[in-house]
Amino acid sequence: MDIDNLMPWLGRTERRDAFVDAWPVEGLQALLDQSGPCVPGSEAPLLSQWLYFGPTVDQSRIDVDGHPKRGRFLPPVELPRRMWAASDIQFHAPLLIGKDVTKTAEIADISLKQGESGALVFVKVANRYESGGTLLLEENQTLVYRDHPPANSAAPASKQAPKTPAWTVCHRPDETMVFRYSAVTFNAHRIHYDRAYATGVEGYAGVIVQGQLLATLMLEACKANAGPKIRRFSFRGVQPVFTGETVFAEGREKEGGCDLWIRDEIGVLRMSGTAELDH
């Protein structure tokens, strides 16, 4: 596979403005069983940047997978399956309800790798969020594009999660929870709600729980057990989690921060992460 045709997108930027309205934060809090009013000037929870700047493109520009058609800001990668693979986020100042925020995104890297299932194209996007001249956070996001799995292909090799967590929080995300998260993030990717599409077209075992939702559950468990002052958070998807599965958000402290992970009932690692604490 040749990615030379994608290189003109390298360095491309996109700038968008948004008003930090209360309702998506209130929706997220309800999803997390933390419901309560959000008043102007109050701090939005960490990771609330994902509730704004959704893909508000015209319906005529939505592709078969539910994402906006490629070739505008994101490069026109020909591989059909797209996943949010990882993020590395540095928090500088809180996102405040009732304020205007500007997001500037840049295509920072485009690379081709060969995996067990075929070609993989990685697109890295550097995002900056600012309000009133103050830098709020920086997020380096990695997207991965891949082909449909070959017929009768073997499941990817699994990796065991760490055995000695300091905390564990059980979750069983169902399709209602996943739908509600898609609603507050305005995410129309069909793998998160359309079982027939997810299984019959993209070849997954079921409806997929959003990586951002799993990362949120992982960070919430960290905040509850290690403290809410977090200056940096990173996560990487290892294996998809499907609706109806029971998973555990776990972690333990280390010097300067925490190791975090999501595992399933038999101990298989599904997501890994780290947090740096600001004591």
Query: Whole domain around residue 161: which residue ranges?
Result: 4-277
Q: Predicted confidence band at 52 (pLDDT cuts at 50, 70, 90)?
A: very high
How many other C-beta atoms lie within 10 A of the C-beta of residue 21? 13
Q: What is the pLDDT of residues 182-231, one digit of tens each?
A: 999 999 999 999 999 999 999 999 999 999 999 999 999 999 999 989 99
pLDDT at 131: 98
How many other C-beta atoms lie within 10 A of the C-beta of residue 218? 28
pLDDT of 154 > 90? The answer is no
pLDDT of 272 > 90? The answer is yes
pLDDT at 221: 98
Q: Predicted confidence band at 140 (pLDDT cuts at 50, 70, 90)?
A: very high
CATH number at residue 137: 3.10.129.10
Q: Taking the model in full, what pTM does it have?
A: 0.95
Which tokens is 158 given?
Answer: 């699994």
pLDDT of 117 > 80? The answer is no
pLDDT at 12: 97
Which tokens is 192 given?
Answer: 């998160």
The number of folded domains in the chain is 1
Report the share of the chain in percent with pLDDT over 90.
Answer: 90
One DSSP character per residue, 59-101 reads GGGB-TTSSBPSSSSS-----SEEEEEEEEEEE-S--BTT-EE
pLDDT at 70: 92
pLDDT at 220: 97
pLDDT (average), residues 112-126: 90
Environment class of 172 (CB within 10 Å of its CB; exposed 0-12, middle 13-18, buried 19+) = exposed
DSSP state for residue 271 in the 8-state scheme: E
pLDDT of 1 > 80? The answer is no
CA distances from 138 to 88, 101, 146, 162 (A): 8, 13, 26, 29
CA angle 82, 84, 85 (to 5 degrees): 105
Q: How high is the mean pLDDT of the chain?
A: 95
pLDDT at 37: 81
pLDDT at 127: 98
